[in-house]
Structure 1
Amino acid sequence: MSQAHYDVIVVGGGISGAAAFYELAKYTDIGSIALLEKYDDLATLNSSGKGNSQTIHCGDIETNYTVQKAGAVKRTARMIVKYCLQYGYENKFMFAHQKMAIGVGDTEVAYMRKRYEDFKEIFPYLEVYEKEKLKEIEPKLVYDANGNERPEPIVGVGVQNEYSTVDFGAMAKSLVENAKTIEGKTTDVFLNSEVLEITQEGSTHRLTTRDGKSFTAGFVIVNAGAHSLYLAHQMGYGHDYSCLPVAGSFYVTTKMMLTGKVYMVQNPKLPFAALHGDPDILLGGFTRFGPTALVLPKLERFHGNKTVIDFFKTLRLDKKIITIFYDLLKDSTIRNYIFRNFLFEIPYFNKRLFLKDARKIVPSLQLEDIEYAQGFGGVRPQVLNKAEGKLMLGEASVNPGTGILFNMTPSPGATSCLGNAERDVKLACAHLGKTFNQEAFNQDLTD
């Protein structure tokens, strides 16, 4: 069995793993770094252009964000923009689009007006779009199929020219490519290298892969989506956490519809994002509507059923998990939402039900205007916290303090990738007695 030693090994070649790999190479004096990726290319799962809504989530139009969360996410979202501008990726895989959140009906309109007042200090570029302005910049929001104005009041809050859209799969590949150009560093990437087991051996960890390789490292960062918790459990860590994989599906329009991103007010009772429309950069700007939210008993979406067993091992079903499920399902709003999203996956019913919801954004939308986006959507590893008895809505990390981290990053994990990597790379440096160049990092990636 071949083996190699590195100062740090990153497990997972999605956007989060690629960000950690890049920052280890560029902003530390760590000498040798390896990236182990399960499949034959980087970013083939949730980070691919098809696996998410391609959105830089900074909190300006995401109505489920508090002022405090928006302030924190804004910093990490800006890092995405700064990185892409630094290397000239604008209009290659990062694009500026109009974006807004809309309120429809008296209650939502009042909410959006108040939200604008609460958030305009953090996001001074935000504008309020009354119906007359919407007719000019996003007319599909206003008129029905007969050309009549929608009867209910509507208002938008947003911006017309901010970097908002990224192909995170392309960005992940660029991060790895740029890391490998840094001189004086060993930056090795191993594809088709699924990690089957991690064991601790004194001050190091040994990683064994399916292709028969063995690696050791002074520090390990596991960014393997839902499999991060699977590997943590395998080592005896993170047993207070369980994983609920939630798959998101999308529908795409068959012609040009919206000029930018349009989000809706999220129901505060629902733990998942409200339906939104986005110009898809892989589909020539045609609008992609979604996501739906379907709980799937597998850790990966489009790889058959080979991760079903992994799901049950990671779920670790017990009374605490059953209690969390019961508490979620006893609420009729959540229960009906789950059932409706299940119907979104059933042929014939799916398009008709989805069309009804999407018409809240585009009243003129017809059945022939949309089609199910085959192969689009990923799986978010929503974390269940057994100790607190609830579903966690943000990111979760298991840090046993032994030189290994396990990260689970549901939305906005892609947006937060460089900020999360900053946190993890600092931990790696502290553990190894190395230095993180905060000054260079701030100069490149923060304002």
Structure 2
Amino acid sequence: MNEKHYEVLIVGGGISGAALFYELAKYTNSKKICMLEKYEALATLNSKGSSNSQTIHVGDIETNYTLDKAKITKRTAKMIEKFCLQYDLQDKIMFKHQKMALGVGKEEVEFITKRYNDFKELFPYLELWDKETLRELEPKLVYADKEQTKDRPEPIIAMGARDEYTTVDYGAMTEELAKAGQNADSSKVTDIFYNSEVEDIEKTGDMYKVTTTNGDVYTADFVVVNAGAHSLYLAHKMGYGKHMGSLSMAGSFYITSGEFLNGKVYMVQNDKLPFAALHGDPDILEDGKTRFGPTALALGVLERYKGLKSVGQCIKTMNIDGSIIKIFWDLLKDSEIRNYVFKNFLFEVPGINKGLFVKDAQKIVPSLTKDDIEYAKGFGGVRPQVLNKDEKKLMLGEASLSEGNGIIFNMTPSPGATSCLGNAQRDIKVVCDYLNLDFNEDQFNADLVEEEIA
């Protein structure tokens, strides 16, 4: 039996947990820090390179981001870049590709043109690319046939960038963050324990007692739960976040037999659909093959590819009552959303899935055929989408529960990996205030925050 006390204990060894672990070790005077990971290694779930699109979500080509949201994501995305450059990880786990948001058809061409004009001040490196420029940069977007003799019939335009860091293996970055945290100061205790699934967290006096399924017990002055879809499950067990439920959305991918795109190509988001629009990405773990996706499928588990052990936890975390049923009803009574949900279910059905999916992917590459793609087995993860029972609606993006009493629960679907260092900075301020610790914000800013150009 293992009994240890820490100032700060982090539950979850994905990229969000590792980012906080790193920042606590490097930029605060906390002396004893611990991270518990339920599996045998870090980043085995959503942070794993094959579970996400490996994208640094800056806000420049994500057409569902408002200008205000893009300002926030730009700041946190730059932290990813600066961390990787600081530790000489460029061209090892972080890479440059060209990237763009593609508009197809008259309405989308007008939308992209307007968006470019609205966003070019925030992102001065953005360019507007007409069909002839796209013919040079991404010829497969322009031609309707594989022989490249015939143009697609619709007008197209794109806003994009040629020389920016766009792509990260977030699984490898998780390991680098943990390593950098453990190497930051040899006088500190920076423990990481594997195969340590948290069963219970309880408040005992001024401390928290954390018990794992294998019987180990840890105590801590402050606990931060960065456990993906399990964060809300553990919050509910402690009586927190009862106004929230969680909908587990799985994202699957299809992968090509060869290279189809030179860079990242994102589509215009349909505002009615609450999940990411299809995009194409060169996969840095699969020899540059192009990955198309994600699909969006509601699943009754909190983790993917780990068996059915989390089905019961998923049902509990949905927190079903009249408010939750109303949220589902409001979503599904809209025919566009209903058809989208049904179509994404069919994308998972062997025999018919490839033929159906390729029709959507042809909006990016018109000449793509079902023989060019395969269902990417074992790819994709589960993203917890928060259902707000008070407002009776699906809340996209991240959610954090904190009542100022020494514990925080974070749920970080996309763009959670991109914003991991920014989210950790937010939490560190809460931790330091509560424990009366010092946060070296000047050094943090010098290392990780891009200077604003007046």
Q: Does 1:396 align with 2:399?
A: yes
Give CA-to-partner distance per residue, 1:24-51, whole Å, 9 cap, x none.
0000001100000000000000000011
In structure 1, distance between residues paired with 2:21 and 2:293 = 31
Q: Which amino acid aligns with 2:362?
A: R
1:308 is aligned, of 308, 311, 318, to 311
- Give matches, 1:3-152, under 5 Å: 3-145=3-145, 146-147=147-148, 148-152=150-154
**Correspondent of 1:190 among 173, 177, 193:** 193
CA distance in structure 2 between the aligned counterparts of 1:115 and 1:188, rounded to whole angstroms: 46
CA distance in 2: counterparts of 1:301 and 1:438, whole angstroms: 37
| Distance across 2 between alignment mates of 1:426 and 1:399 | 13
> Among residues 249, 258, 265, which one is paired with 2:268 in the alignment?
265
> In structure 2, the residue corresponding to 1:50 is in which secondary structure?
helix
Cα shift readout 1:396-418 (whole Å, capped 9, x = no counterpart) = 01112210000000100000000
- Is structure 2 residue 236 aligned with structure 1 residue 233? yes
Letter in 1 for 2:58: C
Amino acid at match of 1:331: D
Partner of 2:410: 407
What whole-Å deviation, never above 9, does each CA across 1:224-244 have from its counterpart, x for those lacking one?
001000000000000001000
CA distance in 1: counterparts of 2:106 and 2:217, whole angstroms: 61
Alignment partner for residue 293 of structure 2, among 286, 290, 294?
A: 290
Letter paired with 2:449: T
Higher mean alpha-carbon deviation, 285-294 vs 392-401, is at: 392-401
Say whether residues 1:246 and 2:245 are aligned partners: no
Map 1:336-375; keep pairs closer than 5 Å. Answer: 336-375=339-378
In 1, distance between residues paired with 2:336 and 2:20? Answer: 39
SS in 1 for 2:446: helix
SS at match of 2:49: coil
Structure 1 position 210, deviation (Å): 1.4
Post-superposition CA distance 1:321-371 (Å, at most 9, x none): 000000101111111100000000001111001000000000111111100
User: What SS does the aligned partner of 1:169 have?
Assistant: helix
Letter in 2 for 1:49: G
Task: Quote the Cα distance in structure 2 between the aligned partners of 1:411 and 1:277.
Answer: 16
Structure 1 residues 244-285: Cα deviation after superposition (integer angstroms, max 9, x where no partner): 000000000001110000000000001111000000000011
Gap regions ≥5 residues in structure 2: none
Alignment length, in residue pairs? 447
1:2 shift after superposition: 2.5
State the one-letter code of the partner of 1:24.
L
Q: 1:192-229, CA deviations, whole angstroms, 9 ceiling, x for partnerless residues?
A: 00000000001110000112110000000000001000
Mark the runs of 5 or more structure 1 residues left unpaired by the alignment. none
What whole-Å deviation, never above 9, does each CA across 1:66-107 have from its counterpart, x for those lacking one? 000001110000000000000000000000000000000000
Q: One-letter code of the match for 1:154?
A: I
Give the distance between the partners of 1:255 and 1:434, measured in 2 at CA.
52
Aligned residue identity for 2:337: I
- Secondary structure class of the residue paired with 2:210: strand
What TM-score, normalized by structure 2, do the two folds share? 0.98
Corresponding residue for 1:422? 425
SS at match of 1:208: strand
Q: State the partner residue of 2:172.
A: 170
Counterpart of 2:188, as a letter, is: K
1:157 maps to amino acid? M
Query: What CA distance in whole angstroms lies between the structure 2 residues aligned with 1:310 and 1:394?
Result: 21
**Pairing partner for 1:317 from 311, 315, 320:** 320
Q: Secondary structure at the match of 1:44?
A: coil
By how many angstroms is 1:108 displaced? 0.2
Q: After TM superposition, what 4+ stretches of structure 1 lie above 6 angstroms from structure 2?
A: none
- Partner of 1:176: helix, strand, or coil? helix
Equivalent residue for 1:332? Answer: 335
